[in-house]
């Protein structure tokens, strides 16, 4: 696992509201500036980072990434593929992160599927059939509220890069065995987004995710 630490702690830029200032031309006066509104900031984040691409759930249901999965929700996002770790050159980060997230789901309890929605997307839709994805879910005991997704390869790649799961080096980025083992989580309507290593201590991940439900008060207390 020589690349494990480097991958897990690779920095991902958080998608936070930005008060971008847009100049308005005026005649005979210095340009005026107006702050970006909450509505336009949310639209821009959606357009740039949360594209409304078609996907298929592990149950075979057709959905749209933004409209059906992310909009108005608190979510977690990560990537995997079912044969991760089965070759000598593969560090096998997927099963480690998936097992860790299974512990996170237990800690979050009934919040998952009600206030928090977990999503795992395959990096190899051309290989991962729904049957294999469902078998993978069963191995790790994924419960209700944790949806595994597939889709067209081009759409998965667009999502991966838009969400921020990419390397600046194209050669490394193309190699699925070197994929980033992070988990991104956020509150879409409040435009609060962050990321953490998928192999972080489960109580830490669970507590961090719970902050997104009610940022002012809600916490999942570590045991």
- On whether residue 23 sits in a domain, the answer given is no
Q: Where does the pLDDT of residue 179 fall: very low under 50, low under 70, confident under 90, or very high at 90 and above?
A: confident
Between these two residues, 135 and 180, which has the higher pLDDT value?
135
Determine the structural domain holding residue 86 and report its residue range. Answer: 4-10+39-210
pLDDT of residue 87: 59
Mean pLDDT, all residues of the chain: 83
- On whether residue 218 sits in a domain, the answer given is no
- On whether residue 185 sits in a domain, the answer given is yes
pLDDT of residue 1: 41
- On whether residue 18 sits in a domain, the answer given is no
- On whether residue 219 sits in a domain, the answer given is no
What is the greatest pairwise CA distance in the chain?
69
Q: Where does the pLDDT of residue 9 fall: very low under 50, low under 70, confident under 90, or very high at 90 and above?
A: very low
- On whether residue 19 sits in a domain, the answer given is no
Euclidean distance between CA atoms 55 and 41, whole angstroms: 25
Euclidean distance between CA atoms 94 and 76, whole angstroms: 15
pLDDT of residue 189: 95
- On whether residue 20 sits in a domain, the answer given is no
Output the CA–CA distances (angstroms, integers) from residue 145 to 49, 58, 101, 192, in the order listed.
Answer: 23, 12, 12, 20
Beta strands in 59-181 (DSSP E): 62-64, 74-80, 116-122, 146-150
Euclidean distance between CA atoms 11 and 14, whole angstroms: 9
Q: What CATH number is given to the structural domain containing 85?
A: 3.40.30.10
- On whether residue 177 sits in a domain, the answer given is yes
Split into its structural domains, the chain has a count of: 1
Report the pLDDT averaged over residues 128-152: 97
Q: What 3-state DSSP class applies to 150?
A: strand
């Amino acid at each position: 696992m020589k690349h494990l630490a480097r991958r897990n702690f690779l920095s991902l830029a958080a998608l936070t509201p930005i008060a971008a200032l847009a100049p308005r031309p005026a005649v005979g006066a210095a340009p005026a500036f107006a702050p970006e509104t909450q509505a336009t900031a949310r639209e821009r984040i959606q357009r740039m980072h949360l594209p409304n691409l078609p996907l298929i759930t592990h149950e075979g249901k057709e959905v749209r990434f933004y409209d059906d999965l992310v909009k108005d929700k608190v979510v977690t996002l990560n990537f995997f593929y079912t044969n991760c770790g089965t070759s000598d050159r593969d560090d096998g980060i997927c099963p480690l992160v998936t097992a860790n997230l299974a512990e996170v789901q237990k800690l979050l309890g009934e919040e998952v599927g009600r206030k928090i929605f977990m999503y795992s997307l395959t990096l190899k839709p051309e290989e991962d059939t729904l049957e294999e994805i469902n078998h993978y879910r069963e191995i790790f005991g994924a419960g209700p509220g944790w949806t595994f997704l597939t889709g067209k390869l081009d759409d998965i790649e667009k999502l991966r890069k838009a969400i921020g799961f990419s390397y600046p080096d194209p050669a490394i980025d193309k190699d699925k065995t070197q994929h980033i083992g992070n988990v991104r989580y956020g509150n879409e309507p409040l435009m609060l987004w962050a990321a953490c290593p998928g192999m972080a201590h489960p109580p830490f991940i669970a507590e961090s995710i719970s902050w997104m439900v009610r940022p002012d008060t809600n916490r999942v207390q570590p045991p």
